Structure 1
Amino acid sequence: MKTMRLEYPIAVMCRVFGVSRSGYYAWANGTLSPRAQADERLKVAIKAVHTQSRETYGPLRMQPELAAQGFEAGRDRIARLRRELALRCNPS
């Protein structure tokens, strides 16, 4: 769509491709949603707790640590972000 925007209006191309204009502009500007931004901040904190715990904390033990740092996140969200980061617990 970026290459064709000189030939066709963005509104027309969005209708043809079945995409909302606001969705197209959000994608084109590369802005992350507030939730995605919060996930990125939480990922940094998860990496830090993972390292500080000598890679032994799972989501259950990580949740209170993150809460003490001011992050509100459930176990499922922490588990999902750990999977995205490919973090695994090492048995001690």
Structure 2
Amino acid sequence: MRYAFIQSQVDLYPVRRLCKMMTVHPSGYYAWCRNKLSDRAREDQRLLGQIKHSWLESGGVYGYRKIHLDLREAGEACGKHRVARLMRCEGLRSQTGYRRRPGHYGGKPAIGKRLVIPS
């Protein structure tokens, strides 16, 4: 996170000053720049694309369980907890509250006001 911020501000400020401000060593920043994404991170990015596609096709209704089932039907081998983690990190959530929930309609009427009917 810190290195990504430094990389976004490199055009405006010197790297050493940004590293000092973020309390990281410049050699760590340069090592981060050189290293490529791990295989797991690349696989997560590819899987996240499929998750987003499936989530958008559902209209933002499906949660991680149904998305996981969609991916399994498509031949993708992944766990439901991995799908849940990727969706949570990306901010994708299932739609909640689209069904009518039972309300409170019975009970005693309010005592405060009385209806007076003129005769």
* TM-score of the alignment, normalized to the shorter chain, above 0.5: yes
3-state SS in 1 of match to 2:77? coil
Q: Identical aligned pairs, as a percentage?
A: 34
Q: How many angstroms does 1:78 deviate by?
A: 0.5
| d(CA) in 2 for partners of 1:70, 1:42 | 12
Higher helix share: 1
1:29–1:70 distance in 2 versus 1, CA, 3 Å = farther
Q: For each residue in 1:3-55, what CA deviation from the matched residue of structure 2 results, as whole angstroms up to 9, or x when unmatched?
A: 8xxxxxxxxxxxxx8xxxxxx85x34231111100000011111111111111
> Equivalent residue for 1:46?
51
Report the count of equivalent residues.
71
Runs of 4+ in 1 over 4 A off after TM superposition: none
How far does residue 83 in structure 1 lie from its aligned partner after superposition? Answer: 0.7
Q: Which residue of 2 aligns with 1:70?
A: 75
The answer as to whether partners of 2:63 and 2:95 remain within 8 angstroms in 1 is no
Q: Greater relative contact order (Cα 8 A, min sep 6): structure 1 or 2?
A: 1
1:61 is aligned, of 58, 66, 81, to 66
Instruction: Give structure 1 stretches of 5+ with no counterpart.
Output: 4-16, 18-23
Normalising by structure 1, we get a TM-score of 0.66
User: How do residues 1-92 of structure 1 correspond to structure 2 at under 5 angstroms?
Assistant: 27-91=32-96, 92=98
